[in-house]
Chains A and B, each alone.
Chain A
Amino acid sequence: MSAIAQSNPLTNLSSRSRLRLSIFYGFLLPIVFVSLLAGVGIGSTHISWSTILRVAEFKIFPQAWTSSAHVTKADEVIVWLIRVPRVIVAFFVGAGLAAAGVLLQALFRNPLAEPTLIGPGEGAVLGGVISFVTGWSATSVLSLPLMAMLGALLALLIVYAMATRGGVTPVATLLLAGVATSALLGALASLLLSVNIVNWQIAQEIVFWMMGGLDARTWTHVWLCAPFVLLGIVASLLQTRDLDLLQLGEETAASFGVDVESSKRLLTLTAAILTGAAVAVAGLIGFVGLLVPHAVRLILGPSNRTLLPASALTGGAFLVLCDLLARTIHPPTEIRLGIVTALCGGPLFIYLLLRQYRGGAN
């Protein structure tokens, strides 16, 4: 038996979908690579590629191997302390939001579920504001992402309780519950902020953070975001078979042996970790969790085992490129990153919404 299995290795994938997967990654991986390089190489200050290479060499290899003679302090700061962390943060925020989108779309069985559109984003903002105004963020930097995750979880639980009856979430109810929850949590965040302004500079910083953007991201932000996003993605990858069955309906999932309640709890927690980690370092960046999974699903199909990792990688590259656009399209000012992603994702959202309503009317 095992001899047969070895001589005839079987997987879930037909040869056709395996070919499609190889072609997809054949395009995606170079795009990821080029986007990361472009993100570091291009900016308002011109720095030559050889300088960038020298800085990288100087930073990555042991000091004894290289000489820092050819690297000016300014170049070092721009490349290593400004651009590199910004690109890494953009990549992980994009990956986290896209993965969270995939999870929420399976949880609500609805392709319009998106982390910043249906509540968890504002929940994370409220959590972040609480950690700012209580001063926790000053005593421990970790409190910002942790509070953001807690806020996202709270918002998800509220929206789920409001919008889902018997495992079914109508699109109108989901969006209305999402809008209502977002408005409420957003108002709470603003209220907290306005009664606690003691220092104008801090308030301004918080407001800019709430608007969404990646300017002045540091290595601290990388460490606050990347481990949680990785944790969330690994946790999601463990749940892909449950996700597939849940996407067919809770009763079906249960009849095939899925422990639906515990599976949904784990799924919600994972989506909250991903959303919270992303919002904590980038504020509200809309539509990534909608646009990316939708595009990947069109190419690779809805199976979460392939959709999840592909969406995470695509989301990372997408946000790095959006951020590059945001800071180079209209120099010397930067456009807010959320504007770029909204301009890309908004039309798709409207299209999907119209299609669902037409579908529902038939």
Chain B
Amino acid sequence: MSVLEARNASVRRGGRTIFGPASVCIGAGEMTALIGPNGSGKSTLLRLLAGLWRPDDGEMLIDGKATHGLPRKEMARRVAFVPQETQIDFAFTVAEILAMGRYAHRGRFSPQSQADHHAINSAAADCDISHLMDRAINTLSGGERQRVLIARSLVVEPEFILLDEPTANLDIHHALDVLHLCESLSRKGKTVIVATHDFNLVTRYVTRLILLQGGLLIAEGTQEDVLGPHTIQDVFHVEAEMIPTKTGQPVYVFHQRVQ
């Protein structure tokens, strides 16, 4: 099983360090959530892990090899990225969008192979979008669009799937749908990493939480390790009350902190 790793990675923008230095190691079919308030560096860490950004200091590794040394296409075949913005203005059909996911597998002129076809169909089936294949992407609802983009990342047949705020634009029903889908993918052996600010929603699904604040990793582990009321108060500046539920996993109710 493969491992994605950050080793003392940091990112500077305009002379200011906006992320890190941070070290983290994620792999082996885990489902991990990167959580933290706005601007805490979740998206930055996600883009570093996906190889979309290069750290200014330190390095990113996949199975111990520096990712920036890998060809763009090889990285794309191993690590898939699902962006937060799902809006697409051009009227591509869902089938065309999924076919684009095979970019890194196909030569410039090679027609779609049996393997391409199989990857597209099974990704569509996994995400329950087979009935949408002929629809134009810009006519779908937010929940359908999110499932299409997750399917497109599956078409790559990657080892890692990285999702940036996959539930941010969805109602609760579709948000749970998407998280359930992510969980089933991780059961099938994919390593799933979700960046989100809504930790209440994801704690039930993930095996590991990584908490960020101000561009630094400040805690990681299970819900009990990471999300104690004091930590939440320190990081999110709200008072959190933990309430037990029938699933056994407590949920949080937030109160504005009295000054």
Contacts and interface: CB of A to CB of B under 8 A. Distances in A.
Q: Do A and B bind each other?
A: yes
Interface of A: 1, 4-5, 8-12, 14, 16-17, 109, 238, 241, 244-245, 247-249, 251-252, 254-259, 297, 301-303
Contact of A1 (B81, B83, B114): B114
Given A11-B111, A256-B104, A249 B85 contact: yes
Given A17-B93, A251-B81, 12 more contacts: A8-B114, A10-B113, A241-B106, A248-B90, A251-B83, A252-B83, A254-B72, A255-B50, A257-B75, A259-B72, A301-B96, A301-B136
Contact of A12 (B47, B96, B101): B96
Contact of A256 (B93, B100, B111, B114): B100
B213 to A, nearest CB: 25
29 contacts: A1-B114, A4-B114, A8-B114, A9-B111, A10-B112, A10-B117, A11-B111, A12-B96, A12-B99, A12-B111, A14-B133, A244-B92, A245-B100, A245-B103, A248-B88, A249-B83, A249-B85, A251-B52, A251-B81, A252-B83, A254-B52, A255-B79, A256-B104, A257-B72, A257-B75, A257-B76, A257-B104, A259-B72, A301-B136
Given A251-B52, A256-B76, A258-B72, A11 B112 contact: yes
Interface in B119-160: 133-134, 136, 156
Nearest to A254: B52
B208 interface: no
B108 A302 contact: no
A248 B136 CA distance: 14
Given A14-B134, A241-B103, A302-B91, A255 B114 contact: no
Contact of A303 (B77, B92, B103, B108): B92
Interface string B159-172: 00000000000000
B209 interface: no
B195 to A, nearest CB: 14
B80 interface: yes
A249 B72 CA distance: 16
Given A1-B114, A303-B92, A256 B134 contact: no
A255 B113 contact: no
What band does the interface of chain B fall in when counting residues whose beta carbon is under 8 Å from A? 35 or more
Given A1-B114, A10-B113, A12-B96, A258 B103 contact: yes
Interface of chain B, helix or strand or loop or mixed? mixed
The listed residue with most B CB atoms (<10 A of its CB), out of A9, A252, A256, A297, is: A256
B73 interface: yes
B73 A257 contact: yes
Contacts, number: 85
Contacts of B106: 241
B95 interface: yes
Contacts of B77: 257
Given A12-B96, A241-B103, A256 B85 contact: no
A10 B101 CA distance: 16
Contacts of B96: 12, 244, 301, 303
Contact of A255 (B80, B92, B111, B116): B80
